[in-house]
Structure 1
Amino acid sequence: MRAVRLDEYGDVGVLQVREVDIPVPQPDRVVVEVVATSINPGEAGIREGGFDPDRTAAFPMGEGSDLAGRISGLGTGVTGWQVGDEVIGWSGERSAHAQYVAVPASQITARPEQVPWEQAGSLYVAGGTAVAMRDAVTPQQGESVVVTAAAGGVGSILVQLLVSNGVRVLGVAGPDKDDWLRGVGVEPVNRGEDLAGRLRAAAPEGVAAFLDCFGQGYTDLALGLGVPPERVVTIADFEAAGRNGARGVFGHASTTADTLADLAAMIVRGDLVVPIAATYPLDEVRAAYTALAERRTGGKIVLLP
């Protein structure tokens, strides 16, 4: 099978697609033939060594967490699943950017046929993070909440979760995302000059919570708007969160198979759409991460092995 591998930390040039053995199903695990697997900024950070300051990782290393596909093998002890079942899940072993991946059976849920493969393969990191960010501030119906990078991979899911909870969402993004944001019930507020003043004008009653998916000073801006620190959440600027008392969230760490099932059910009901910015074949993984690094895409970038 084909799988992404890297032999050292570095830029996209270290990513290689190689022939490796198809995994054999072990006890309590399933092997999934991957149909779709998305890429995420955190994986770029891992590739660059940002999460391994002491350089203790063993190479060669795989890559990728999100996955959707069909079960091709069952280990002993696995019940409730059959070969051919279509599933949504994740790898906790950096191995999803491949044609086949082995994962614990506890890390998959059924894929409803109404959920497109590309969206199914994008739910773990971005969807789980969006759920964790929402839950971190327990938004109340009618509150005004700001989301930055509101049309990005996490933000595009987060704003829809908030809208479905009856929250008034002010979405910070570029003007090219205005139509999409309005289409999902979000009030766009374009990034740029005097953003704080424009947010105050949009929410004269005050901003109740601020959810930052971009970093670069947004938590400081939130505190300047008078948002209580415990209701300022970031997934992109942990240094600032530690300095100013805001909250840093490593969202998908708390994701379960039930989380994915709930998100898939929202897609089926029409309450959630995971926008897909682009798809790439596995062999073009370098190009996919190059596009991701531009931080201009709306929604998720997906690999199709």
Structure 2
Amino acid sequence: MTTQRAVLYDRTGGPEVLRLAEAPVPEPGAGEVVVDVRAVGLNPYDSKARAGLVPLDTPFPRSLGGDFAGVVRAVGAGARCWDGTALVPGDAVLGWGAGTLREHLEVPAAHVARKPDGVPFEVAGSLSTPGQTANAAMGVLDPGRDDVVLVSAAAGAVGFVYCQLAIAAGAAVVGTAGPANHARLRDIGVIPVEYGPGLVDRVREVAPAGITAVQDNFGREAVDAGLALGVAPDRICAIADRAAVAELGLRSPGRYERRADVLDRLARMVADGSLVLPVQQVFPLDRVGEAFALLDTRHLHGKVVVAP
């Protein structure tokens, strides 16, 4: 039996609970592909699951990871891409799945899109969660030319993609971030402001005509600032604070449906330069604990990626 390395954990906790284990290399079922994984972008959800902050009923040992990019290794009967075209071994793809932190991954063909030439694997493997979350949030508020949107955690992956999509739609964007990330926000057309006490006054200073919408990606601060600045609750979308959504009548994409055609569109935007997703550091699989330790600092200027 051919084996591979996979990341597992036997109890919840910090990065130290992660271990590499031997697992069989899967064979694809009908409508599935097996992918040689080249890159997995880590997401905050992965850390929350590992730490036990997300209620899971799956038994230990558990696997981790949701996004990936790689090369098709084997194809099951009837496996076709989202657009109906056949997938064949050697195709470069990106997508999403369960337990992607491994060398070889079995996923439904409907969960992959073709990786455009010129998009690095580490960027492609980081795109699905932040890209599709930002896209779903865009669908909630539908910001356009008449909008000035306050975006919290604008330098995080979801916020960074959202800012670019909103600007492409014609909106002006004010983004909260630490000073270290202000320059790269300006580079994509965002007006940066520092988060923390005094946020309302800082937003008033840079947007004297007011803001019309809020996209909150972190917590209550931007929501409260938006309300103080006169934004109606139905023009505030929050993805991080479910309690605030329920309490204040805010909007949220909720458990949106991931779609390979959306991922394909986002990947093509990366390829043509109209969407940027920075990568901070790439770690090999045997340093996955270090990758999570960096992710857990939450002081990032790009995606943390594991390359099996």
Give CA-to-partner distance per residue, 1:58-109, whole Å, 9 cap, x none: 1211111101000001112224011010001110xx2111111000011111
Over aligned residue pairs, what C-alpha RMSD do you find? 1.4
Are the aligned partners of 2:36 and 2:104 in contact in 1 as well (CA < 8 Å)?
Answer: yes
**Residue aligning to 2:88:** 82
**Residue aligning to 1:277:** 280
CA separation in 1, counterparts of 2:225 and 2:192? 17
Segments of 5+ residues of structure 2 without an aligned counterpart are 81-85
**Residue aligning to 1:48:** 51
1:16 and 2:19 correspond: yes
In the TM superposition, residue 4 of structure 1 has moved relative to its aligned partner by 0.7
Corresponding residue pairs, total: 300
Question: What letter matches 1:295 in structure 2?
Answer: R
| Mean CA deviation greater in 257-266 or 134-143 | 134-143
Question: SS of 2:63's equivalent?
Answer: coil
Are the aligned partners of 2:281 and 2:305 in contact in 1 as well (CA < 8 Å)?
Answer: yes
Are the aligned partners of 1:32 and 1:69 in contact in 2 as well (CA < 8 Å)?
Answer: yes
CA separation in 1, counterparts of 2:269 and 2:146? 21
**Residue aligning to 2:28:** 25
Are the aligned partners of 2:174 and 2:190 in contact in 1 as well (CA < 8 Å)?
Answer: yes
1:189 and 2:193 correspond: yes
In the TM superposition, residue 217 of structure 1 has moved relative to its aligned partner by 3.0
CA separation in 1, counterparts of 2:302 and 2:138? 18
2:117 corresponds to which of 102, 110, 113: 113
CA separation in 2, counterparts of 1:147 and 1:249? 15
CA separation in 1, counterparts of 2:196 and 2:111? 41
Question: SS of 1:247's equivalent?
Answer: coil
**Residue aligning to 2:261:** 258
CA separation in 2, counterparts of 1:62 and 1:192? 36
Question: SS of 2:245's equivalent?
Answer: helix
Question: What letter matches 2:190 in structure 1?
Answer: V
Are the aligned partners of 1:237 and 1:248 in contact in 2 as well (CA < 8 Å)?
Answer: no
- With the length of structure 2 as denominator, give the TM-score of the two structures: 0.93
**Residue aligning to 2:106:** 102
**Residue aligning to 2:182:** 178
CA separation in 2, counterparts of 1:49 and 1:193? 31
Residues 284 and 249 (structure 1), Cα distance of their counterparts in 2 relative to 1, 3 Å cut: farther
Question: What letter matches 2:96 in structure 1?
Answer: W
Give CA-to-partner distance per residue, 1:227-249, whole Å, 9 cap, x none: 11112112221112222222233
Question: SS of 2:157's equivalent?
Answer: coil
Segments of 5+ residues of structure 1 without an aligned counterpart are none
**Residue aligning to 1:297:** 300
Are the aligned partners of 1:144 and 1:167 in contact in 2 as well (CA < 8 Å)?
Answer: yes
| Mean CA deviation greater in 82-91 or 221-230 | 221-230
Question: SS of 1:129's equivalent?
Answer: helix
- With the length of structure 1 as denominator, give the TM-score of the two structures: 0.94
**Residue aligning to 2:71:** 70
In the TM superposition, residue 176 of structure 1 has moved relative to its aligned partner by 1.1
**Residue aligning to 2:209:** 205
Question: What letter matches 1:18 in structure 2?
Answer: A
CA separation in 1, counterparts of 2:52 and 2:121? 30
**Residue aligning to 2:83:** none
Question: SS of 1:47's equivalent?
Answer: helix
Are the aligned partners of 1:234 and 1:246 in contact in 2 as well (CA < 8 Å)?
Answer: yes
Residues 216 and 14 (structure 1), Cα distance of their counterparts in 2 relative to 1, 3 Å cut: farther
In the TM superposition, residue 48 of structure 1 has moved relative to its aligned partner by 2.4
In the TM superposition, residue 216 of structure 1 has moved relative to its aligned partner by 4.4
What are the equivalent positions in structure 2 for 1:155-170 lying under 5 Å apart?
A: 155-170=159-174
In the TM superposition, residue 135 of structure 1 has moved relative to its aligned partner by 1.2
Question: SS of 1:69's equivalent?
Answer: strand
CA separation in 2, counterparts of 1:295 and 1:51? 18
CA separation in 2, counterparts of 1:294 and 1:142? 36
Amino-acid identity (%) = 38
**Residue aligning to 2:157:** 153
Question: SS of 1:226's equivalent?
Answer: coil
Question: SS of 2:62's equivalent?
Answer: coil
CA separation in 2, counterparts of 1:139 and 1:195? 22
In the TM superposition, residue 201 of structure 1 has moved relative to its aligned partner by 2.2
In the TM superposition, residue 299 of structure 1 has moved relative to its aligned partner by 2.3
Are the aligned partners of 2:137 and 2:252 in contact in 1 as well (CA < 8 Å)?
Answer: no
